[in-house]
Structure formats: C-alpha cells, structure tokens
Chains A and B, each alone.
Chain A
C-alpha cells in the first residue's frame, strides 16, 4: 500500500550480524540529536551476533512509531545484496536503494550446498522496481580507506555526519572510518550528477 508519511524519512538498514548496522544508526542518531531532528531507531539484537539477518530501522521526523508502513521506506541501505533481495517487500518505487555488492555467503551456501543468487541479477531486479539505485563495492572502498572492517557507507549528506562519526567510533579507527565515509559519499554523489 502506498501512503508515504511525508513528514518522515525512514532508513531501513539490512545486513548481517557484525557488519556494524548498529554503529551506523548511532552515527545518524548523534547527527539527529545535534540538529534537534526527532529520531527513533529500532534494532533487533537477539541472535544478530551469530551471523543472522540484522534489520535496523531509523525514523527521522514527525512520528512516534518505531516501525513504519512497509511502503514507507525512504531509503533502504543493504550491507549485503542477498538481504536486499530478501527485503524486497519494503522497496517501493520511490525508495532509494543503496546496495553493497559484496556477498556474505550464509552457512546454507558455504556448507549446505544451497545456491547464492547472482549479485547482478539482484541489482537488475532492484533497478526494475525503484527509480534510484546505487550499488557499490563497499569492501573495495574500505580497502582504499585502509581498514576492511569499515565497509559501511551511508547515503546521507555532509559534515554533520562526519562530526557524528567523530563522536561515535573509537579514536584508533576514526581516520579509516572518515576516509571510508568520504569515498562512499563521493561515489554516490558523483553518480547522481
């Protein structure tokens, strides 16, 4: 159903446990708090640590509901391509989708003989259903930035975010995080032109 809550921006992050979705939501949280933008973040912890699917929902703006209508996702950030495909119900025409193209093969593929879909097929499918898709290899960007753990990039603008990163990540990995952020930002920004 389509009934976008125009007063809010909803970012849905999908990925795999340990990829840092929680850190990202905290960075956005710090930025929002600073600018006095109302924010609610919903995280499911539980089994996440054990390599299961992780979903974090960030809602900015005028709402008190931690969960949105399915059709109300402004931006879906996929840290993992298969998980984007799995979350396809939440992608509508207006959803901006950012996909990391680096697969993380689940145990069902690495050990039980199940097949992992072609990443290109996923991206092609996603492109058919949304008007705005960015796919990038987050891992390559992270390697450029010098820390493979920093594979998470954000489709969210500007200095405030850089500042928020400064407040939210440990000092020793700050530089790599900032560099990764700049690279990711540059990537999305360039392609938008």
Chain B
C-alpha cells in the first residue's frame, strides 16, 4: 500500500505541461501568453490577490484547480482540493467573511451540491471579495446534465458576470472581486465549456500579493443566520440589489458592439442581446454573412442583475431584437417581461418563438439559422448562401468510437469478477467516474446513475424492492465526495446490498487529482490519508474486505461472500489507475513486460474479446493479437483466457 502511494505521489500533479509551471506567475504586466481559459482564470485569481482558493474537480473547470495545485505555494495562496463542492464553497466563503479575498470554483452540478450554503451566504454576504465560479457544460461534453446556472444568480440575488474569452476572463476576475467588495456579496462567475477549454492570447496584468492572516471581527447579527437575523439579512440583500442594478447600467462590461465588415447599412435595424460565448458566434455571423440589416449587439458581461434601462433603451432603438444565448431563455424572458412592463413595443424573438434551440452548444451555423429564421418570420426574405451539394457515399461502415476504460484498468478487472460472481443476475446502481464506462459492452454494468454518490443511496431503495442481489459501484473520490452518508444510512436502516468501492488511488476521470485518501494535499504537501476500509468499519459495516481486482479468482470469491452476507457489505477493490501507474513507471525509467497472444495455443474462441475486451486486443481475420503499444502489462488477460494463450512476451531463448 505504501509503495503504491509513493508511486502515485509523483504523478498526483496533473497535466505535466512544464512550460506553464512558473511562467503563469511572472509579474510582467503586458507579457502575452497563449493560455487555456482555465489558466487565464487561475492567473486572474493570482493577480487579484486571492488568499484562499478551494474546489472539487469537475470538467470543464478542472484545469483551474490543476493550475493552482502547481502554483499556489509560489503565489502565496492557500489552495485545497476539498472533499466536495459544498465544503469548498464554505471553506473559501468563510475566509472571505473573515476578510481575505477568496475563490471557489466547480462544475455546474457542483453548485447544486454547494447550493445550500450558496443561497444563505447571499444573505450574510462577505467582508472581502468572494468569487464563485460555475462552469456550465452545454451539450454535456462531460456531464450528466446541461443545467443553466444563471438561474442561481437570480434565485440567490448575487451579481453575476460572464466572460467571452480567456483574456476577458482574466480581466473579469478583477472586476468580480471589486464588485464583490463593493456590495459585500459573493459574485457568481459563470463560464461554459467553450470558454474554459478555449486557448487564446492573454496579456498579463499586475499581481497583487495576497493578504496574510486577519483578525476576525465578530458580528453574529450578520453572520449567524438564526431566523431573526436571517429576516434582517434578507431585507439587507433586497436593499443592495437595486444598487447592483445601477452598477449593471454603467458597467464597462455591458456595452453595444457593432459589426465592422457587414450588416452596417441595411434598412432593418436589428438588435441582438447576447452574452458569454454566444457573443463570439453572433459576431462571426454578422461579420461574414450579409443579411441586409443594420446590426447592433448588446454584449452583456454583467448578467445579474440585468441592466434594465439599457435593455429597454436598446430595444426601443431597434426594429427587431433577438436574444441569442445557449441554454434556457434567461435573457429572453427578462427582456420580454421588461418591455411589457415598460410599454416598449419592439418585438423580441428567441427560443420561446422557436427560432433558437434550448438544448446543446451553439456554433455560427446554428446562430445564423436562428437569426435568419427570426428575421424571416417578420416577413423579410433572407437570402442565405445555398448549401453545397454534399453527396457523400454514406454506405461505408462507420463503427462508433466510444470512450472506453484504458487497457490495464483495474475497473475492468473488477467488473469481470463481479459478472462471474453474479452470473449477470443482479441490479447494478453505478456512479460517476471512469468506472461509469462499465456500461459499455461486454461489461454492461450500470442500471441506474443520477449524480455523484447516488449509487449507494439508490442501492438502499432498490434492495427493499427487488429480488435480485444489488451491487453498487463507487470510486474512491466519489466515496469521500458524497458516498459516506448513504453508507451510514444503509448501516442504520439495515439495507442489504454490496457496495464496491473502486479504489484506484486517484480522481481519474477529471485528470487525476488527489483526494482525502491520498498522502498529498492541494498545496502539494504531504498529508494524512484517510483509510476507506477504516471509515467503513467505523461506520459499523460488518462485512468489509479489500481485494486486488487484478487477481480475478480472489476477487470473484470475495464478491460471492459479500453477496451471501446479510446486510450492507463493502468490497474495496484496490489497485492504482493503470494510466497513472504506467506514466509514473515510465518516468522512473521502469518498463514492464508486455503481453501477447501465443498463436499456437489460441483456439479462436473469442472469449477474450467477448467477455473482457481490453482495448489492446485486436483481430486480423480470426486471429487475435495484443497491440504492444497499447498494453499496460496488467496481466489480467492471462487469467481470462481459458487456454493459456495469452501471456507475457517471451524473451529470446525462454
């Protein structure tokens, strides 16, 4: 176990892009650098003098944490990977209450986890700047939903900003901290995937060093939200909101932009209200496709509270106004309600009229189609360039290329053993992580998945109503995130299921960040690690077994015993992430023997591909092979093949 940890240690630092290590910390205002949106945000946090930053990893926000993990110490900032988003939010939030600048960031669904704290911190407010970043993921590139977190700003009453590019993001971090301090409220910083994962040129600004320790000024009437105080704080919040709105009216981030190349002199005055990445697509359309309009674009960078006067004035000046925004009709509904209230008669069109879609990411083609459809509905013919005849022969085979677990992945081995132990007759609640990929053939493991930590909760309910055994799966990082309360629940209420905690000693799916089960923390310092096995025993689970999943027979046996056990049973399959281990071994200059198919022994029965399906396997005709480039030397195939036809590559003379 210790050797494993020391192997993992060095690779706990994700994304080894050497040239970003310290360069991002250079105090050279004006220097230009090509950076990922998430790196620009991290730089913005450094420039703004953030003292405390906390996160739980989640794509598309993960690289902010990976970057801070590398530079926090040098920047004089405290950074942690918290157990989950709620803890991250509270950790940073309290620091801001005490009086230092703080930053928490998470993917969109992470804000659901933190929402309880988020909604009430809006009442107490903060004494130093607190920026809370939510990274939304339209199109669900790597998420379980595509919720639009702009509504969190509206629901809580806190101000919100939305950048369109990496450079804007860096500068907006400064602005968000200023806003937060001016109104003594947290500020929601909303990004989307095409902002976080876009690389653009960023110009360095000045770095303000973070504040050191402060004296905590007690003020319980503000910060202790018993009902009497909460009522007062709600009134206080309602009093600040109009002031925030006044700022929104004059914010330098809310402005009118005009296209330069086309659409400058048509007789229809077309206004477009937009924000975030959609602004980029709108400009691409207006600068490249002549629509015979005079177009003006209201680009909103501060989108809560909305600048109501600015919006109604903008609408008044145009013949037709469109709202272009990914996700829900947030701007559209606000604009429509506002115009109605103020008696402005300009037509506003958007999603509610069917011109723009609600689901999925936008791009210039979608935005053009929407604009053309909206203008068209006003009785104006829009001449669009004719689609090119695109007569491709679509009859060629197009086999899908889904993401799969890596060769050598311990999760695949665990699933193989579980299938043997259950003969497939079981219900499998699963959870979020690399192991979710077990839903692919031939494993086909995964019957219900809602959100992180849900497998154990679902398992409790299922175990009360189905006849089959219930076997739930959860990763080690997920266990610490939200897996412990449902296990407590299962012990206390006597639910009868097996929980397989798949301990690969990392948070693999999001890029191998450390978690509380590892001997390293967010600052890169050695840290006490929490034993999953001891936690489970401490909770009162009577059946707790740890097994190496790469040993198929033993793992199968342990699962059989766990299934036979009456009451909640935990099986910890413990083996490091193959990708991480391989990377680390290679760096240490160690190579391991690769595996191959001994052609003389292979019976071409296909058991290997149809039951195990390591991505390193391939076939030419009926003959099986293992690609040595892909093999990660786990040795499990040797146990899968009943004919001894798979094994290590033999050296000459063996």
Show the binding face of A for B, using Cβ within 8 Å: 1-3, 5, 16-17, 25-26, 29-30, 32-33, 38-53, 63-72, 82-83, 85-86, 88-89, 92-93, 105-112, 114-118, 121-122, 125, 129, 148, 167-168, 170
Chain A residues contacting B384 (CB-CB under 8 Å) are 1
**Does B199 count as interface, using CB distance less than 8 angstroms?**
yes
Asked whether, in the complex, the Cβ of B363 is within 8 Å of the Cβ of A67, the reply is yes
- Chain B residues with CB under 8 Å of A5's CB are 284, 287-288
B19 adjacent to A2 (CB under 8 Å)? no
Of the candidates B284, B289, B440, the one whose C-beta lies within 8 Å of that of A107 is B440
B25-42 CB contact bits vs A (8 Å, 1 = yes)?
Answer: 000000011101000000
B18, A110: Cβ atoms closer than 8 Å: no
Given A3-B288, A45-B59, A45-B60 in contact, is the A82-B401 Cβ separation under 8 Å? Answer: yes
With a CB–CB cut-off of 8 A, which chain A residues contact B396?
A: 85, 117-118, 121-122, 125
Q: A25-B199, A110-B609 are in contact. Are A50 and B34 (CB under 8 A)?
A: no
Q: Evaluate whether A43 and B199 lie within 8 angstroms (CB atoms) in the complex, with A64-B283, A170-B18 already known.
A: yes
Q: A1-B387, A44-B141, A71-B388 are known contacts. Are A108 and B284 too (CB-CB below 8 A)?
A: no
* Chain A neighbourhood of B440, CB < 8 A: 107
State the 7 A-B residue pairs at the shortest beta-carbon distance, nearest first: A46-B142, A52-B403, A50-B403, A65-B284, A111-B613, A47-B403, A106-B401
Q: How far is the CA of A151 from the CA of B283 in the complex (A)?
A: 37
| A65 adjacent to B364 (CB under 8 Å) | yes
Interface flags for B388-423 (1: CB within 8 Å of A; 0: not) read 101011001111111111100000000000000000
Q: Is the CB of B198 within 8 A of A66?
A: yes
Q: Is B441 an interface residue (CB 8 A)?
A: yes
Q: Which residues from chain B contact A92 at a C-beta distance below 8 Å? A: 388
Please provide the chain B residues from 45 to 78 with a CB less than 8 Å away from any CB of chain A in the complex: 59-60, 62-63
Specify which chain B residues have a CB less than 8 angstroms from the CB of A86 in the assembled complex.
398
Q: Are the C-beta atoms of B397 and A40 separated by less than 8 Å?
A: no
Question: What's the Cα separation between A148 and B280 when bound, in Å?
Answer: 39
* A contact residues around B397 at 8 Å (CB): 114-117
Q: Which residue of B lies closest to A4 (CB)?
A: B288
Known: A3-B289, A66-B277. A33 touches B401 (CB 8 A): no
Q: How far is the CA of A75 from the CA of B630 in the complex (A)?
A: 29
Name the B residues within 8 Å of A115 (CB-CB): 397, 399
- Known contacts A69-B368, A116-B399; decide if A50 and B194 are in contact (CB<8 Å): no
A50 to B411 Cα, complex, angstroms: 13
The residue in chain B whose Cβ has the minimal distance to the Cβ of A83 is B401
CB-based nearest A residue for B260: A62
| Contact A51–B165 (Cβ < 8 Å) | no
A67 touches B401 (CB 8 A): no
Q: Is the CB of B19 within 8 A of A168?
A: yes
When A1-B384, A41-B198, A110-B609 are in contact, do A70 and B59 touch as well, CB less than 8 Å?
no
| 25 A-B pairs in the complex with CB atoms less than 8 angstroms apart | A1-B368, A1-B388, A2-B385, A3-B289, A39-B201, A40-B165, A40-B198, A41-B199, A42-B194, A42-B198, A44-B193, A45-B60, A51-B403, A51-B404, A63-B284, A63-B287, A64-B284, A65-B280, A65-B283, A66-B198, A66-B200, A67-B194, A67-B364, A88-B392, A129-B392
Say if the beta carbon of B569 comes within 8 Å of chain A: no
Tell me, rounded to whole Å, the shortest Cβ–Cβ distance linking B591 to chain A. 14
Name the residue of chain A whose CB is nearest to the CB of B284: A65
Contact A125 B398 (CB under 8 A): no
Which residues of B, 161-195, contact A by the 8 Å Cβ criterion?
164-165, 193-194
Q: Which of B400, B406, B619 has the most CB of A within 10 A?
A: B400
CA of A71 to CA of B385, assembled, Å: 11
Contact partner, A50, options B363, B368, B434, Cβ 8 Å = B434
CB of A111 within 8 A of CB of B34, answer no
Q: Which residues of B contact A46 (CB under 8 A)?
A: 59-60, 141-142
Q: Are A108 and B402 in contact, with the CB atoms below 8 A?
A: yes
Interface residue? B579 (CB, 8 A)? yes
| B618 contacts chain A at the CB level, 8 A cutoff | yes
Q: How far is the CB of A41 from chain B (nearest CB, A)?
A: 4
Q: Does B615 contact A (CB under 8 A)?
A: yes
B461 within 8 A of A: no
Q: Which of B386, B613, B618 contacts A105 (CB 8 A)?
A: B618
Pairwise interchain contact B142-A2, C-beta atoms closer than 8 A = no
Instruction: Enumerate chain B residues within 8 angstroms of A88, measured Cβ to Cβ.
Output: 390, 392
* Interface status of B341 (Cβ within 8 A of chain A): no
Whole-angstrom CA separation of A82 from B396 in the bound complex? 10
Q: Which residues of B contact A66 (CB under 8 A)?
A: 194, 198, 200, 277, 280
**Is B81 at the interface (CB under 8 A from chain A)?**
no
CA distance A131 to B393 in the complex (A): 17
**Set of chain A residues within 8 Å of B193, measured between Cβ atoms:** 44
Question: Nearest chain B CB to A71's CB is how many angstroms away?
Answer: 7
Smallest CB gap from A109: residue in B: B399
- The residue in chain A whose Cβ has the minimal distance to the Cβ of B611 is A111
Specify the chain B residue showing the minimal Cβ separation from A122.
B396
Shortest distance from the beta carbon of B640 to any chain A beta carbon, whole Å: 12
- Do residues A70 and B402 form an inter-chain contact, with CB atoms below 8 A? no
B residues less than 8 Å from A16 (CB atoms): 401
| B474 contacts the other chain (CB 8 A) | no
Provide the residues of chain A in CB contact with B617, threshold 8 Å: 110-111
- Neighbouring B residues of A121 by C-beta, 8 Å: 396
CA A65 – CA B364 in complex, angstroms? 8
Q: A16-B401, A44-B197, A114-B397 are in contact. Are A2 and B388 (CB under 8 A)?
A: yes
Q: What chain A residues lie within 8 Å of B201 (beta carbons)?
A: 33, 38-39
Contacts of A53 in B (CB 8 A): 401
Chain B residues within an 8 Å CB radius of A93: 388
Assembled-state Cα–Cα distance A107/B630 (Å): 13
* CB <8 Å contact, A148 and B629: yes
In the complex, which residues of chain B have a beta carbon less than 8 angstroms from the beta carbon of A107?
A: 401-402, 404, 440, 613, 615
Known A66-B200, A69-B364, A109-B618; 7 more pairs at CB < 8 Å: A1-B386, A42-B197, A51-B401, A69-B365, A85-B398, A107-B613, A111-B617
Residue of chain A at shortest CB distance from B364: A69
Q: Is B345 an interface residue (CB 8 A)?
A: no
> Does B437 interact with chain A (Cβ within 8 Å)?
yes
**Does B103 touch A at the CB level, under 8 Å?**
no
- Closest A residue to B369 by CB, please name it: A1
How far is B391's CA from A125's CA once the two chains are assembled, in angstroms? Answer: 10
Does B281 interact with chain A (Cβ within 8 Å)?
Answer: yes
Contact residue among A52, A69, A116 (Cβ-Cβ distance under 8 Å from B402):
A52
Least Cβ distance of B110 to chain A in Å? 16
Instruction: Point out the residues of chain A lying under 8 angstroms from B365, CB to CB.
Output: 1, 69-70
A135 CB to closest chain B CB (Å) equals: 16
A161, B649: Cα distance in complex, Å: 39
Give B506 Cβ to nearest chain A Cβ, in Å.
Answer: 13
Closest chain A CB from B432 CB (angstroms):
12
Known contacts A40-B198, A65-B364; A50/B388 CB under 8 A:
no
Bound Cα distance from A87 to B363, whole angstroms: 16
